[in-house]
Chains A and B, each alone.
Chain A
Amino acid sequence: MDKLLTLTLGGLTSGAVYAALGLSLVIIFRATRVVNFAQPALALISAYVAFSVNKATGGYWLGFAAALLTGALLGALTERLIMRRLADRGHLAPVIVTLGLLMVLQAVAGMIWSAEPRSFPYAFDFRGTFSPAAGFAVAVVLVVAAGVLVLFKATPLGLRMRAAAFRPDVAGLLGVRVGLMLTIGWTLAAAVGALAGLLAVPPFIYPTALDSVFVHALAAAVIGGLDNPVGTIAGGFALGVGLSFVSGYVGPELVTMAALAILVAVLVVRPHGLFGHAVARRV
């Protein structure tokens, strides 16, 4: 029983991270129909900024804030400088460009902070079966997810963002500044991604620290439905717990295989994820 409990709670903690990074993917996907492969690198750079601020000032929360700001800024810059030029270029070009950005940013991280792993603190004490640090991770992810949901469903800004995403032409005619909405979407998503990074990197940060987290986050988003924030959050937690069980009861080498199996099982039954919606056929 002790083992079951430990594995469940451990899985929930990693699941919170998958959910948060998955949420950042969903926000961008809803806005632009792009899967942002550069997301782990944006989060990585943000976390490294937190690392440097921590080192310089000795405080955790200043670094935390700096990371969120960095994430937001990087997101806005990515949209303005790069992604905007790719409008109407199909679904492949954004994949490749964000992959290129991933390489560049990981290389930059290696250049500035070296490939060696560095110690990166948790927000709170990490000891205990369900530690304050784990509790913080789960809580903050749930709060942010709720916030994003309220923003989308219940605020004028959210309404404008949805309009800009689904019918940019009509939204433009109605006076919505479509370009600005896209920038806001990327900024918000990258800030959420930075938060995911801050929760994911402890205890060690190194340039490839978020790669496997990203694969699991993408899996979570695909399982939940890429256009559905609630589904993605649920997918993230479910995947975290599921993989923790596989690792604990079957073997750690099977974790990636299990992720594949879960993904295939879900997609065979529901090709657009558990909670996703099929996009109407383009005519």
Chain B
Amino acid sequence: MRFRWLVALLALPVTLPAQLAVVGETVYTMAGPAIRDGVVLIRDGKIERVGPSSELRVPAGYRKLTAKVVTPGLIDAYTVVGLSGYLNQAHDQEQVERSKPIQPELRAVDAYDPREPLIEYLRGYGITTLHTGHGPGILVSGQTMIVKTAGPTVEQALVKPDVMVASTLGGGAREREAGKSPGTRAKAIAMLRAELVKAQEAIRRREKKPEEATRDLATEVWIQVLRGEKPLLVTVDRAHDILSAIRLGKEFGLRLVLSNVAEAYLVLEEIRASGYPVIIHPAMQRAGGETENISFETAAKLKAAGIPFAMQSGYESYVPKTRVVLFEAAVAASYGLGFESALAALTIDAARLLGISDRLGSLEPGKDADLALFDGDPFEYTSHTTGVIINGVLVSDRPQ
């Protein structure tokens, strides 16, 4: 299975990648209303044309694939898969480095294992893009990146390196060992403010005496964050911690992305007013500790409040080792979010939030040919993903 995409490539020696015509009883383009009896033409890894079969003839030489439902490839808007492996042993857990609480210089590209079996597993369900990298569980864990779920090296899988700086606030950021910081919520914020002030000072120094500037990896990243070149991704659950995150973001004029936000429903107005988007927790994340007040309905409430959001598989420390955003969105859809909004959260809304909507998230000419094929409502427990296409190549065709 791991090399299925390679086999697919080898089987089509003339045109790499193949010309494909995907015919769906319903095609959700996410760029307009769903098309009944629609066709997506794929050429050289990109989407060539999209339309109803009555208006769009399949040219000769195109391999035809059919499905009941066709959607854009699904996007997991925050995960640790590829850094966190399924065996859950020390050697395959790279998402958090515990030597220091703040290490923004750690890059996801330097830790990603593209042959991790969970990547292929997720791909089998139609997930074609991961925003993955350093995880929650420490104040600042490192950076994230965006990859496709195909490609034998990180370079080949990569969509965008160094996307966000991952951080955690609230109880989840606490160091467990006595005497280690941060040990409290207030200390965590104080430490982050100190880092950002230090970076502001570095900018001033550099402007005054550029000839004396020396490189410092962490400061360089903080400067990018201060300039809004990189969002600060804050995993935070308690209502008061969500407000602390917003307070910090506004003080320094940061681009913040709020992550998990189990108690978002208590501070919807504040989140909406902040303008910060949300990557919401998996609908089925366990209730306990910081997330004891988690709800299946939070996605629906964010939608109703007009807050832009996408969905994440998040981080799991035990069984299952990763969640599947398709399954999580399904539960959110059932608990008030509805089918179309849940599908949007996995596709176009995620692409916009991650800044990749020029390439991904909808079925439109010129975009990457990443598609998921289903034999029924993608969210129904008993439906199957019947095909997955990445960059115009059929990478999975075993019903899953």
**Is B one of A's binding partners?**
no
